[in-house]
Structure 1
């Protein structure tokens, strides 16, 4: 067992998982979600784009919160996040997007656990509905391990190569 594998289980066990519709998110959760998305996608990946796209309102949100770090015990740092868009009149697939782990929580398998949890929930709630995501092209192998296969050519979006992937 590697050092990373040895320390991963306790770190993952410390996380608090929240699966919520937008209207059930607290203002603090919305702030943490938007701040993390801005930090990862806009600042870290240097992409200027319209993150607040109106789709959050009808989406489900998975938040992984780290152990509480302030003295009041009130605020827990956001470790990971993703959103799930449900089928609608324009698209019959469920779509996973805005998948991220924050810098402090990288390197111990949080992305794997987050995707496993979301897929388990999606398949239980909406069995048989295809799931699609718009992956950064270098993550094809990661998503492929969860049954996703490319359904488009690699194309550039916001200066980063992406590919649409789908799982039945």
Structure 2
């Protein structure tokens, strides 16, 4: 998998379309969750794009401290269902964390994790903070890496 990081302004039209298609395929269709994915925050984000054979198969969006949470943050973490067995979730998260460290320094990183992924995020250094909450009808928990 090839990983590139771009600002919103650097995204090509087809690239943005493929990102939105992947997010919709997983977050709306696969997870059967009707929600407003286009939340106006993409233009503030750095887009971490994992591609394979010209197809977006993994993705996150990264925010500098203060643009989403007080801390730097990672969101919209997604891997195409048929590609999950390759470990691309770990690869895209490592690239996102490294980008934050390189770009913003050793700052805390916040994410809002779907509850079933607590073990995955814990394995890469995140710790649960606060209480469980519902986001778009799905149980979530805040997690932080210092």
After superposition, where does 1:53-132 map in structure 2 within 5 Å?
Answer: 53-67=39-53, 76-88=54-66, 91-132=69-110
Structure 1 residue ranges (4+ consecutive) displaced by more than 3 angstroms after TM superposition: none
Q: Bigger radius of gyration, 1 or 2?
A: 1
TM-score w.r.t. length of structure 1: 0.83
Q: Does 1:27 align with 2:13?
A: yes
> Residue 85 of structure 1: CA displacement?
1.4
Structure 1 unaligned regions, length at least 5: 1-14, 68-75
Q: Secondary structure at the match of 1:133?
A: strand
Number of residue equivalences? 146
> Residue 104 of structure 1: CA displacement?
2.5
Query: Which deviates more, 93-102 or 80-89?
Result: 80-89
CA RMSD of aligned residues (A): 1.3
Structure 2 unaligned regions, length at least 5: none
TM-score w.r.t. length of structure 2: 0.95
Q: Does 1:151 align with 2:129?
A: yes
Contact map agreement 2:64 2:104 (CA 8 A) in 1: no
**Cα offsets for 1:5-48 (capped at 9, x unmatched):** xxxxxxxxxx2211001100000110001111111001110111
Q: Does 1:47 align with 2:33?
A: yes
**Cα offsets for 1:55-93 (capped at 9, x unmatched):** 0001000111112xxxxxxxx111100101112277321
**Greater share of strand:** 2
**Cα offsets for 1:104-138 (capped at 9, x unmatched):** 21211111111111111211111122100000011
Q: 1:84 to 1:123 in 2, by over 3 A?
A: same
